[in-house]
Amino acid sequence: MNFLVTGGAGFIGSHVCERLLAEGHRVWSFDNLNTFYNPAIKQRNLAEVAGNGLPFTAITGDLTSRAAVDAVLAATQFDQVIHLAARAGVRPSLEQPALYLRSNVEGTANLLEACRTHGVRKITIASSSSVYGVNASVPFSESDPIFSAISPYAASKLACEALGHVYHHVYGMDVAMLRFFTVYGPRQRPDLAIHKFAHLITAGKPIPVFGDGSTARDYTYVTDTLQGILACTKQEFGFEIFNLGESQTVTLSQLIEELEKALGQKAIIDRKPPQPGDVPITYANIEKARARLGYAPGIKISQGIPLFVEWFRSQNKAVAP
């Protein structure tokens, strides 16, 4: 099949492209290579995907340009689209809310409309655990009410979920919305906590810890997330939302301990007040994904952090964040 992967130069996207190619598909990446973090990192990801010698095409373009999106969909008859491109991160969205809404919501609307126009019926879209906000019910279930977003990033992802439902309901498109829970592993973005902390610890610099270290996250190893994404490409749903998490929580203090152990080096802690937009916990109920997708995550944090550190050390001579 022909697959278009938006955000294909990024952390999760580049892994998705590789996995699709390994399964025998033809893959096109669409990514604007923006400067949210060093574009050279994204170029390296693309080079690694292309280095397999399989049918892969990398296109540079911006989803906020309807003409650019339409041109890509007009040039190739795609069987499916996997939409991973987005402005990511809760804290940066507090500084640039309009940019996040334009990139994530307008970009998604442009892509859905281009899919409709050019006859692509099936699309898998990345959402986020951020949509749950400060949720009193744990673990988080897809059926929980989600009207309490506490960041522009979360609000933009809620809007994308609503758009996906509209295009299913009105135009009959097959849409799967995937709520990711703190994905980590090789190629993780340098701004994310695990990568950022590993860089600072090895450099002997303080790591910023917001709050008392009790905030907890459902850290999900990238190969487990990939398992859920690829499962969505193999069946039709109409419209469904799935949590893709590890269904285990790790406090920030525990995470730092795991990193110290894997790196063989103690962290210097720089305590800071809690940040607006941060939620106290994320915790995925994955029973629906288990039942409908055969989703079975298997990498615990005690295994995943050493695997990340092994990759991190291999990148010492690569481009800086």
Sorted by where each starts, the structural domains of the chain and their CATH numbers stand as: 2-314 (3.40.50.720)
At position 31, the amino acid (one-letter code) is: D
Locus of tokens 């810890």: 209
pLDDT bin (cut points 50, 70, 90) of residue 120 is: very high
Q: What is the pLDDT of residue 320?
A: 46
Kind of pairing between the strands at 250-251 and 216-217: antiparallel
Residue 179 CB coordination number (10 Å) = 24
More confident residue, 136 or 228: 228
Q: What is the pLDDT of residue 117?
A: 97
Active-site pick, 100, 132, 153, 184: 153
Mean pLDDT of 291-304: 97
Judged by DSSP in three states, 4 sits in strand
Instruction: Report whether pLDDT(315) > 90.
Output: no
For 3-39, write each residue's pLDDT tens digit: 999 999 999 999 999 999 999 999 999 999 999 899 9
Mean pLDDT of 240-259: 96
Q: Above pLDDT 70, what percent of the chain?
A: 98
Locus of tokens 């933009």: 156
Mean pLDDT of 115-126: 98
Q: What is the pLDDT of residue 311?
A: 96
For 60-117, write each residue's pLDDT tens digit: 999 999 999 999 999 999 999 999 999 998 889 999 999 999 999 999 999 999 999 9
Judged by DSSP in three states, 265 sits in coil
For 160-171, write each residue's pLDDT tens digit: 999 999 999 999
Among 159, 179, 256, which residue's Cα sits nearest to residue 212? 256
Q: What is the pLDDT of residue 6?
A: 98
Judged by DSSP in three states, 74 sits in helix
CA-CA-CA-CA torsion sign (59, 63, 65, 67): positive
Locus of tokens 């006859």: 119
Q: What is the pLDDT of residue 319?
A: 45
Instruction: Report whether pLDDT(318) > 70.
Output: no
CA-CA-CA-CA torsion sign (37, 225, 249, 202): negative
Mean pLDDT of 276-298: 93
pLDDT bin (cut points 50, 70, 90) of residue 260 is: very high
**CA gyration radius, the chain:** 19
Instruction: Report whether pLDDT(215) > 70.
Output: yes
Q: In whole angstroms, what is the distance from residue 174 CA to residue 33 CA?
A: 28
Is 100 assigned a catalytic role?
no
Burial class (CB in 10 A: 0-12, 13-18, 19+), 68: middle
Q: What is the pLDDT of residue 317?
A: 54
Helices (H) and strands (E) in the chain, counts: 12, 13
Residue 143 CB coordination number (10 Å) = 10
For 180-190, write each residue's pLDDT tens digit: 999 999 999 99
Mean pLDDT of 293-300: 96
Non-local (6+) Cβ contacts of 84 within 8 A are 5, 6, 7, 8, 10, 12, 13, 16, 126
